[in-house]
């Protein structure tokens, strides 16, 4: 199913993006369908809408970007993990709402998405997009996401959309079996990691090199 915006960007253009994601290793059909159903051109400036379905990051203002679709798909696939029977995630926490695109994709795969953003202007615009798309299962807060969202924990998945040292507060807000997906600092570069909470602690695996804007503290 394709949603709003066919007049601006053709179904064929969106499908070519999905084909590229599949060719690059995105195998979860739930993720591919969620990406196909999320109109990325509504999450970028109108002047960039013609580039919305390129597999590239684009600026959204305030020094921030909307992530490359492949990276969004890869992080979403990692967050879903191997859930039995195709069960949706119950509660997901996103750190860094940004344009709102990652949250919109997650909202098609989770019962509830909680998203924090430190830049008030970006959060205001993202909320407008969520309303326009009737994504009423996304709950947002203007806050320093490094502290997570303790009153809503535990989460089945936590997705961090900015790079740096993983804040200590976040893994502790995972449910048992839950996963945290984040671009972690690794020397002079970043690597995407998945941390799984087990009955006895945490397991960490690397998913490859990435490049994200830095995870900053405080509010704007």
67 is catalytic: yes
Q: Where are the domains of the chain?
A: 66-210
Closest listed residue to residue 179, CA positions, set 196, 192, 166: 196
pLDDT of 5 strictly over 50: no
Mean pLDDT of 50-69: 95
Helix H or strand E segment including 32: helix 29-37
CATH number belonging to the domain at 66-210, selected among 3.40.50.150, 3.40.50.720, 3.40.309.10, 2.50.20.10: 3.40.50.150
DSSP SS3 for 189 = strand
Q: The tokens of 113 are what?
A: 């998405």
Which of 49, 67, 99, 115 is an active site residue? Answer: 67
Its pTM stands at: 0.93
| Burial class (CB within 10 angstroms; exposed 0-12, middle 13-18, buried 19+) of 5 | middle
What is the number of residues in the chain?
220
Q: How far is CA 201 from the centre of its chain?
A: 25
Q: Give tens-digit pLDDT for 10-37.
A: 778 889 999 999 999 999 999 999 999 9
Write the DSSP symbol of residue 7. Answer: T
| pLDDT, tens digit, 9 for 90 and up, residues 146-186 | 999 999 999 999 999 999 999 999 999 999 999 999 999 87
Question: What is the mean predicted confidence (pLDDT) over 82-103?
Answer: 87
């Amino acid at each position: 199913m394709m949603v709003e915006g066919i007049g601006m960007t053709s179904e064929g253009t969106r499908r070519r993006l999905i084909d590229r994601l599949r060719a690059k290793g995105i195998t979860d059909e739930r993720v591919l369908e969620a990406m196909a159903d999320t109109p990325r051109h509504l999450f970028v400036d109108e002047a960039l809408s013609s580039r919305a379905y390129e597999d590239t990051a684009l600026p959204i203002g305030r020094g921030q970007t909307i992530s490359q679709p492949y990276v969004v798909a890869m992080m979403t696939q990692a967050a879903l993990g191997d859930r039995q029977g195709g069960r949706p995630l119950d509660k997901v926490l996103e750190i860094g709402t940004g344009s709102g695109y990652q949250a919109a994709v997650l909202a098609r795969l989770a019962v509830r998405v909680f998203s924090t953003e430190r830049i008030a202007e970006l959060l205001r615009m993202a909320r407008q997009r969520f309303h326009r798309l009737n994504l009423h299962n996304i709950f947002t807060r203007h806050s320093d996401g490094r502290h997570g969202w303790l009153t809503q924990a535990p989460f089945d998945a936590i997705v961090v959309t900015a790079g740096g040292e993983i804040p200590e507060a976040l893994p502790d807000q995972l449910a048992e079996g839950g996963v945290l997906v984040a671009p972690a600092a690794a020397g002079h570069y970043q690597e995407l990691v998945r941390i799984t909470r087990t009955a006895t602690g945490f397991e960490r695996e690397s998913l490859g090199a990435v490049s994200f804007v830095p995870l900053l503290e405080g509010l704007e």
